[in-house]
Amino acid sequence: MTSRGRFLLATATGLVLAGLVHIGAVLLIPRLSEADALSRARTGETLDHAMPVYTLATGDTPSPPEAWLPIPDPAVAVGICAYDLADGPMRVSARTGPLMLSLAVHGRRGAFYAVTDQAAVRGALDLVVLTRAQYDEALANADENDVTRDVRIVAPDAKGYVVVRVIAALPSQRPAANTAVQAVSCTVDVPAEDKAGG
């Protein structure tokens, strides 16, 4: 092999190796990041209601600078409920009203379920996020004559978060949108026999 051939081979090998290193680094960023959405959402895990992420400006009160989601829509109030299914199933309860409300369930790899207030039964929307084992246990313990209004979701990951969004179509609806996000309840679901015993 000539010196020019060796030079071209070394250059091509170096470029391929550099490309692989860059691709590997980009793919590892989400796993190594400490400021990803899941990590930020977990700061509010102990709350029993949605942690406000983006509240709408109302009158003299400007929108606070806490927004860490991508550029927020100025007409949407956003809150987050973090969960760890090792503690038990996560119940997210919301009362529907005149404003459009949506819940999106996210895991480590992104959103895997979304529902709007159109799925509410008698003005209440109850979403329960469970592991496969918790879901199977809930089915085994369920009374077939007892009708549940829960929307049960099997999560692919034990840790994640639920994004609550409420749309204020008019500026006068902004306070109601902020209140609706704060009114969403996020609790660890305890089975009935545990409630009775404890």
pLDDT digits (tens, 9 = 90+) for 23-58: 999 888 767 766 666 666 666 555 566 666 666 766
Question: In this model, does residue 197 exceed pLDDT 80?
Answer: no
Mean pLDDT of the chain: 82
- The total domain count for the chain is 2
As a whole number, mean pLDDT of residues 112-123 equals 89
Specify whether 77 is located in the same domain as 167.
yes
**DSSP string of 126-146?**
EEEEE-HHHHHHHHHH--TTS
Do both 43 and 17 map to the same domain? no
Q: Give the pLDDT of residue 64.
A: 54
Whether the predicted pLDDT of 88 surpasses 60: yes
Q: pTM for the whole thing? A: 0.70
4 and 91 inside one domain:
no
Answer yes or no: are the C-beta atoms of 54 and 78 closer than 8 Å: yes
pLDDT digits (tens, 9 = 90+) for 4-27: 999 999 999 999 999 999 999 988
Contact yes or no for 89/129 (Cβ under 8 A): yes
Are 43 and 27 contained in the same domain? no
Is 50 in the same domain as 85?
yes
Co-location of 16 and 68 in the same domain: no
One domain for residues 46 and 101: yes
Q: Quick one: what percent of the chain has pLDDT higher than 90?
A: 31
Q: Exposure pattern of 162-176 as b/e (b: 16+ CB <10 Å)? A: bbbbbbbeeeebbbb
Given a cut of 80, is residue 66 above it in pLDDT? no
**pLDDT at 50 (0 to 100):** 67
Residue 120, pLDDT > 80, answer yes
In terms of domains, do 193 and 107 share one?
Answer: yes
Residue 62 pLDDT grade (very low, low, confident, very high; cuts 50, 70, 90)? low
pLDDT: which is higher, 179 or 190: 179
Domain match, 119 and 145 both? yes
CATH number at residue 180: 2.60.40
- Let me know whether 7 and 71 are in one domain: no
Q: Are residues 41 and 28 in the same domain?
A: no
Are residues 79 and 172 both part of a single domain? yes
Structure tokens at 189: 């679901």
Domain of 26, in residue numbers: 1-32
